[in-house]
Amino acid sequence: MTSISQTSEVKASPAEGNYGRPLAVVTTLFFMWGFLTCLNDILVPHLKSIFELDYAQVMLIQFSFFSAYFIFSVPSAKLIDWIGYQRTMVVGLLTMAVGALLFVPAASIPLYPLFLTALIILAAGITALQVSANPYVIALGPPATASSRLNLTQAFNSLGTTIAPKIGGLLILSSAPLLTSEMKLLSPTALQAYRVQQASSVKMPYIVIGVLLVLLAIVIGLSKLPAIESLRHVPGEKIHDSIWRHPNLVMGALGIFAYVGAEVSIGSFLVNYFSQPGIGGMTEKVAAGYVSFYWGGAMVGRFIGSALLRTIKTNHALAVCTVCTMALVTISMLTFGHVAMISILAVGFFNSIMFPSIFTLGLVELGPLAGDGSGLLNMAIVGGAVVPLLQGVVADHIGIHHAFFLPVICYAYILFYALSGSRPNSRRTMQLTCN
């Protein structure tokens, strides 16, 4: 991080001061990136019908978006060392605004690769926010309540993901798309006109989003946020430690990969899943409304988790929730109709504490390496690119209903991490001494 003279952050130590106001300011970032991330679940069925894509092709939306985490997480961590946490948040918001506004030319042409480019730029900005905001919230108060605090901010992230499908469904899926057989009857000129008309529905939402992001960047830039001394790492300063010496971080990165992969896979397929005759048999616009229950469950779970994690060990709560998600996804695969719908939607509630819990457990005992550790954990969000794409390939071959076995595998690894992989070095050393 840069010297304090180069940033508007105010010196403070984790145990001092009233952090209510800075925590509230940073929480707005969690809401915004949650809202934008979940809009992808609406873009998936919308662009699938416009460009006549199969499941594997349309999952390039999530692949492009979440690949940005892998590409830009380390540069974002270095940016924190250079300009500080607060200015990195501002840079992230302005980058997101550029990506959001690129949806306008992408919809005007319309061109699928340009949509993917806009998503990569948007996600690059979100990556900068994730790398800076998550460890900042963890350090913004006593270590004992770090997991509870991050769950609280992530609850507002889930508020964004809950609202997004409903608003996106109303604005973006405003008209019923033509069937593939009907589109094949159109002349090239008529087909292009149809695609322009359908794609135009994304313009206004993303213009508004772009403007709001710029305004939020100004607010964050002018706010006096405290600088957390325990997170300070001045470039060139010698630190006799390495992130690779912390197994809880390395295995936590794999846990983030698995969790985001499972969560995004399920969310991305819900609209198409509920449209299946044997499941919900509903239109895409109606199905989009149900996606809000999936993300809404995560929001409720995080508010509850924020309170419970003040008294329950984080790894124990993570293990219980993981077992529940595995059971619910399996039930959905083995059943049809309302049972299949309700069980898959209920997964959202038990997903709730997973990301903040894994993130907190991964950063235990990192100290001044927290920024680099956060960079590694955020690189692992690329799981949201890889797993949905794999599930898309599987769905094209065996059907969407039974392709959900991939998230079950992901949850199985998270269970291992909760029970064993999350132990920090001090506990591992203690166990070896006792043995």
Whether residue 6 is predicted with pLDDT greater than 60 in this model: the reply is: no
Q: What is the pLDDT of residues 234-265, one digit of tens each?
A: 455 555 677 888 888 999 999 999 999 999 89
Q: At what angle do helices 112-139 and 370-379 cross, to 10 degrees?
A: 150
**Residue 227 backbone dihedrals phi, psi, to 5 degrees:** -90, 125
Whether residue 9 is predicted with pLDDT greater than 50 in this model: the reply is: no
Q: What is the pLDDT of residues 39-63, one digit of tens each?
A: 887 888 888 888 888 888 888 888 8
Integer Cα distance of 291 and 312 in angstroms = 30
Please report, rounded to a whole number, the percentage of residues in the chain having pLDDT higher than 70: 87
CA 137, 127, 42, 337 torsion-angle sign: negative
Q: At what angle do helices 203-222 and 146-171 cross, to 10 degrees?
A: 150
Amino acid residing at 9: E
CB distance 70 to 63 below 8 Å: no
Q: What does DSSP say about strands 10-12 and 226-228: parallel, antiparallel, or unpaired?
A: parallel
HEC string of the chain equals CCCHHHCCCEEECCCCCCCHHHHHHHHHHHHHHHHHHHHHHHHHHHHHHHCCCCHHHHCHHHHHHHHHHHHHHHHHHHHHHHHCHHHHHHHHHHHHHHHHHCHHHHHHCCCHHHHHHHHHHHHHHHHHHHHHHHHHHHHCCCHHHHHHHHHHHHHHHHHHHHHHHHHHHHHCCCCCCCCHHHHCCCCHHHHHHHHHHHHHHHHHHHHHHHHHHHHHHHHHHHCCCEEEHHHCCCCCCCCCCCHHHCHHHHHHHHHHHHHHHHHHHHHHHHHHHHCCCCCCCCCHHHHHHHHHHHHHHHHHHHHHHHHHCCCCCHHHHHHHHHHHHHHHHHHHHHCCHHHHHHHHHHHHHHHCCHHHHHHHHHCCCCHHHHHHHHHHHHHHHHHHHHHHHHHHHHHHHHCCCHHHHHHHHHHHHHHHHHHHHCCCHHHHHHHHHHC
User: What is the average per-residue pLDDT within 187-193?
Assistant: 79
Residue 129: both structure tokens together: 């926010």
User: What is the average per-residue pLDDT within 11-15?
Assistant: 44
- Name the CATH superfamily for 4-434: MFS general substrate transporter like domains (1.20.1250.20)
Q: How far are the Cα atoms of 39, 118, 121, 420 from residue 65, in angstroms, in the given order?
A: 11, 9, 8, 31
Integer Cα distance of 381 and 215 in angstroms = 27
Whether residue 2 is predicted with pLDDT greater than 70 in this model: the reply is: no
Q: What is the pLDDT, as a whole number, of residue 15? A: 42
CA angle 304, 305, 309 (to 5 degrees): 130
Whether residue 418 is predicted with pLDDT greater than 80 in this model: the reply is: yes
Q: What is the pLDDT, as a whole number, of residue 16? A: 44
Q: What is the pLDDT, as a whole number, of residue 237? A: 52
Q: What is the pLDDT, as a whole number, of residue 13? A: 45
**Residue 226 backbone dihedrals phi, psi, to 5 degrees:** -70, 140
Query: Which residue shows structure tokens 């690059």?
Result: 124
Q: pTM of the prediction?
A: 0.72
Nearest to 382 by CA among 56, 69, 36: 69
User: What are the sequence ranges of the domains in the chain?
Assistant: 4-434
Q: Which residues pair with 10 in a beta bridge?
A: 226
User: Which pLDDT band, with edges at 50, 70 and 90, does 94 fall under?
Assistant: very high
Residue 52: both structure tokens together: 């006549």
Q: What is the pLDDT of residues 105-120, one digit of tens each?
A: 998 988 899 999 999 9
| Burial class, 337, CB count within 10 angstroms (exposed 0-12 / middle 13-18 / buried 19+) | exposed
* Of the candidate ranges 20-34, 198-212, 344-358, the one whose mean pLDDT is the lowest: 20-34
